[in-house]
Structure formats: C-alpha cells, structure tokens
Amino acid sequence: MATATESQQVQATDAAVAPPVGRKVVDEVSGWLRVLDDGTVDRTWTGPPEALPLMKPVPAYAEPRDGHTLHDLPGKPNLRVYLPEVVADGRLPVIVQLHGGGFCISHPSWLMYHHFYARLACALPAVVVTVELPLAPERRLPAHIDTGLDALRRLRSIAQSDAGALNDPAAELLRTAADFSRVFLIGDSSGGNLVHLIGARVGEDGAGNWAPLRVAGGIPLHPGFVRATRSKSELEARPDSVFFTLGMLDKFLAMALPEGATKDHPYTCPMGPNAPPLESVPLPPMLVAVAEHDLIRDTNLEYCDALRTAGKDVEVLVNRGMSHSFYLNKYAVDMDPATGERTQELVDAIKSFVARH
C-alpha cells in the first residue's frame, strides 16, 4: 500500500476530465466524484485546487522521521503502520484507524490523515494501524464493516505468530511492539460509524473468539450519525465548505447504504427505532468527539445521550468553535491558533482515554 489504489489515487488531481466519449454522468457529488452510465466512478478532484495538497499520498518510510517510522503491510486488507520511536515499559497499545469520506472517497495515505495519526502515534505513544477501506458505490455497506473486521483478524493472526514466522519485516516489527490486548478503534466521520458497528460485532462474538486481541475502547470522531429527517443543526445557516455539506451527506449515504435504505438505517442511526436497542449492544468504553459547529452535531449528541441512557461507558468531548473533522486540515492546525489548540485538546483527550483503558 505504498500508494493509493488506482481508483483512489485519481482523486488527487486538479485536471477536470471530461467523461469518456459515449459516456454520460448519471450522478455526481460536486468536486469529489462522478458516476458514469456504465457504472464506473470518476474520482478526479474538480474542486478548489488549494485543497489538493491535503489529498496527496504520503509514501512509507523505514528511516525515522519526527520520532516514528511508517510501514505498509499489503494484504487483505491493506494496512499502514505508524511505529513511534520510544523507550517504553512493555508493549504499546494499538490504535486502529477507520478513515472517513462518507464511505465513498478518501484513502488513509492522504496527508490529511497522515499528519494527525503520525502525531497521535508519537503523543500517546501507540502503534497506529490504518485500514484501506472499500469505497461505495462500487461496494456498498456492509463491505466497510467486513473489511474492518478482516483488519482485526489480520492483527490477531500477527499476534498469534511465532517469532520469525512472519515473512514481512514490518509485520514482525508490529508483532513485537504491539499490545494486542489493548486495541482501540478510532474513526473519522463515517469511520466513526464503523467504530460503533465493528465494536458491536466484536462484542457479539465474545472475547474468547478474538483472543489474544481485545478491543479495549472505541473513539468515534465526529461520526456520521443522522436521521432521515433534518436535525436543527443541519438546518442552521453555515459557510460553504468543500469538505462537508448537506448535499455531500445526502449523496454519499444514498450511494453507500444498502439499496432502498434511508438514513434511519442502523448503519447511520444506531440510536433509532430500526436499530437494536442500545442496551443489548455489547460496546466497549467509548470516547465520542463532537464538533460544536458540525452540521450533524445534534444527532451526534443524541447518539451520546442514547449511550448514556442505555448504561454504556461513554465520555463526550465537545470541540468548541470547530467544524466537522477540523483536525484533519493540517494547514489550519499549523496556522490558526484556535484550530491548533482544539487539536491539541483532542490529542490529549485521546491520550487520557487510552491510558485509562
């Protein structure tokens, strides 16, 4: 996984490409993707060119940079591993990242994810494993859930391997550095939905079926939980954003949910009447981050309230003055003091949560 797959790599170009001769655009998410009448998907970026650097893939590197190394583990699924250079007493917890993008776009090698998860690996410290997820509409849900579970199975297999039995040096480094009994699922935006859904599936299977791997906690960051009816925060007037609009939300979920499903589906509304009662869902302890100015702030808070009512172990961090996935915008984090401060608060909260579980 040294670079993004072909369909994902094409997203990071600023050339406005016309559909192939004889093909028509039948659906579109402005700036991000176009579905053609032959079923293929063009993810050429056609939005503002200043957003392109955040989508640039970052190659792996075995020589330390900024206190860590970065390794690719090709396979099913492809994984990417951040290993901090630390002298630790014992092994490091494992953070498994499930990227966002409305289930339809993005890749874990992009700079927007890299800058935050490299920082997180060093700050905790922890081994961070990012997962290359399938993309809708070519592969609709539950494909993303299945891939996340496959990633955990792959980690379990590495944990069960004997010294020297792994053919990949990066996998051997992971085996010796990681405490697989302290795995934390973390997800950005739609990846936050996967934290809940995958965490529940692991809980349903029972600890014995996953040993020696154990999911010790879940960290949904601005999860994509919504309802079919608009919430108050969705209807509030907000500045235009190339990264998150109501139009994007509606289109991406229409492409990603099972055919015929509405946003009240359990994948996007686990606190709704169509989902299993949360009291019956075996979830790990949760830290949920909610952005104060997020379009879907209200349904995120509703999810948190529903977890509390169901007796779940949940902590909530509200990112004051911030919008959806603000911490992924490296340039705002570096140059805007408020964004930088809120990002540090987020890192500190994750560090505290991991340390206590």
Q: What is the pLDDT of residues 49-84, one digit of tens each?
A: 999 999 999 999 999 999 999 999 999 999 999 999
Q: Is 323 a catalytic residue?
A: no
Of the residues 42, 109, 179, 189, only one is catalytic, namely 189
Q: In whole angstroms, give the CA distance from residue 165 to residue 172.
A: 8
Question: What's the mean pLDDT when you consider all of the chain?
Answer: 93
The count of residues in the chain is 357
The distance in angstroms from the start CA to the end CA of the chain is: 31
Range 57-356: architecture per CATH: 3-Layer(aba) Sandwich (3.40)
For each of the chain's 357 residues, which pLDDT tens digit applies?
Answer: 434 444 454 444 444 566 667 789 999 998 999 999 999 999 999 999 999 999 999 999 999 999 999 999 999 999 999 999 986 678 999 999 999 999 999 999 999 999 999 999 999 999 999 999 999 999 999 999 999 999 999 999 999 999 888 889 999 999 999 999 999 999 999 999 999 999 999 999 999 999 999 999 999 999 999 999 999 999 988 776 778 999 999 999 999 999 999 999 999 999 999 999 999 999 999 999 999 999 999 999 999 999 999 999 999 999 999 999 999 999 999 999 999 999 999 999 999 999 999
Which helix (H) or strand (E) is 345 found in, with range? helix 337-355
Which helix (H) or strand (E) is 159 found in, with range? helix 143-160
Residue 136: CB atoms within 10 Å: 24
CB 45 within 8 A of CB 31: yes
| Residues 6 or more apart whose Cβ sits within 8 Å of residue 128 | 81, 82, 94, 95, 97, 117, 118, 120, 121
**Which residue is associated with the tokens 């994984």?**
79
**CA separation, residue 31 to residues 47, 89, 104, 171, 294 (Å):** 4, 47, 13, 37, 20
SS3 at position 157: helix
Q: In whole angstroms, give the CA distance from residue 75 to residue 78.
A: 5
Of the candidates 60, 65, 78, 75, the residue with the CA atom closest to the CA atom of residue 8: 78
Give residue limits of the domains in the chain: 57-356
What pLDDT shows up at residue 17?
A: 61
Residue 185: CB atoms within 10 Å: 30
What pLDDT shows up at residue 78?
A: 98
Of the candidates 254, 253, 150, the residue with the CA atom closest to the CA atom of residue 201: 150
Q: In whole angstroms, give the CA distance from residue 357 to residue 343.
A: 21
Of the residues 233, 294, 323, 325, only one is catalytic, namely 294
Of the candidates 15, 9, 40, the residue with the CA atom closest to the CA atom of residue 27: 40
C-alpha 190: how far from its chain's center? 6
Of the candidates 127, 125, 189, the residue with the CA atom closest to the CA atom of residue 323: 189
Of the candidates 220, 342, 219, 230, the residue with the CA atom closest to the CA atom of residue 296: 230
SS3 at position 113: helix
> What is the DSSP-derived secondary structure letter of residue 57?
B
